[in-house]
Amino acid sequence: MAAVVQLEAIQKTYNSGEVPVHAVRGVSLSIQRGEFVALMGASGSGKSTLMNMLGCLDHPTSGRYLLDGIDASALDRNALADIRNQKLGFVFQGFNLLSRTTALENVELPMLYGGRHLTAREMRERALHSLEIVGLAERSDHFPNQLSGGQQQRVAIARALVNRPEVLLADEPTGNLDSKTSVEVMGVFQKLNDQGITIIMVTHELDIAQYCKRNLILRDGRLVSDVQVKDRLISATELAKLKTAEADARLTGN
């Protein structure tokens, strides 16, 4: 099986200060399609640096990164932007929704970039479908300040899905949420992962990592642990709720 993410001896050194900072020191790693990976490690261990490279936002200093078979380490800035748009979806700790814009319009945004040539109607339908997947279709005309934190993060997840990415990258997606809401959001990720999407997320929280399938730990820019999660936690309540929402939608024909 071809890996969707393959890192080969990735190093990243920042030379902006007086002394070089070796933020990532030789990480090699394969992630197959359908995996659900938590990336952990203390502050300063290189998680964000690694995620920036996985997200095609930055080049490694040395090493090779294959994303869905394409050598991203060899691409120029424009080509990186294209591959990012086609293959990746991003979810952030702070949701990053536009505040004067409805949930639906927020979700439509990524389709305005990347030259997809969709009609306004096609964009609207796809955005609505994304909102349906995260159980928020009925809130599509709400503004972010009319939504709870968990609902805002679900809108952000719908936005990340709308270009049908291969991989979802999430940097502390539950960092601003209380523990109950965090578990609900993990339920949304688990549902998406069950549907085949590959997810890589940074988290500080050990219990949240237990909802993923594989846990990686970075220390001082090196991968020091890589384990499959035993006795994985499942966000059953959230799954049941989403199933009910889908059943309701079918009954009412919406």
With tokens 């709400």, the residue in question is 142
Verify binding: residue 43, ligand ADP, rule CB under 6 A.
Answer: yes
Please say whether the beta carbons of 238 and 184 come within 8 A: yes
Instruction: Say which residues have a Cβ less than 8 Å from residue 78's Cβ, sequence separation at least 6.
Output: none
Q: Binding partner of residue 56 among ligand ADP, Mg ion, none, CB under 5 to 8 Å per kind?
A: none
Verify binding: residue 93, Mg ion, rule CB under 5 A.
Answer: no
Verify binding: residue 86, ligand ADP, rule CB under 6 A.
Answer: no
C-alpha Rg value of the chain to the nearest Å? 18
Q: Would you give the DSSP letter of residue 169?
A: E
3-class secondary-structure state, position 168: strand
Q: Which of 4, 6, 41, 208 binds ligand ADP (CB under 6 A)?
A: 41
Q: How far is the CB of 44 from ligand ADP (least distance, A)?
A: 4
Selection from 95, 91, 96, 88 nearest residue 163 by Cα? 88
Selection from 53, 40, 43 nearest residue 11 by Cα? 53
* Beta carbon nearer to ligand ADP, 5 or 217: 217
Verify binding: residue 150, ligand ADP, rule CB under 6 A.
Answer: no
CA atoms within 13 A of residue 227's CA, in its CB half-sphere: 10
* Beta carbon nearer to ligand ADP, 33 or 219: 219
Verify binding: residue 48, ligand ADP, rule CB under 6 A.
Answer: yes
Verify binding: residue 23, ligand ADP, rule CB under 6 A.
Answer: yes
Q: How far is the CB of 196 from ligand ADP (least distance, A)?
A: 28
Question: How many positions of this chain bind ligand ADP (CB under 6 A)?
Answer: 12
Q: Which of 5, 38, 40, 46 binds ligand ADP (CB under 6 A)?
A: 46
Q: Mind giving me the DSSP string for 193-227? A: HHTT-EEEEE-S-HHHHTTSSEEEEEETTEEEEEE
- Bridge partners, residue 3, by sequence: 32
Verify binding: residue 13, Mg ion, rule CB under 5 A.
Answer: no
Q: How far is the CB of 46 from ligand ADP (least distance, A)?
A: 4
- The residue range among 2-10, 37-45, 108-116, 162-170 that interacts with ligand ADP, by the rule CB under 6 A, is 37-45
Instruction: Measure Cα distances from 182 to 31, 90, 132, 208 in Å.
Output: 24, 17, 19, 8
* Beta carbon nearer to ligand ADP, 23 or 97: 23
3-class secondary-structure state, position 28: strand
**Which spans of this chain sit near ligand ADP (rule: CB under 6 A)?**
14, 16, 21, 23, 41, 43-49
Could you list the residues that contact Mg ion (CB under 5 A)? 47-48
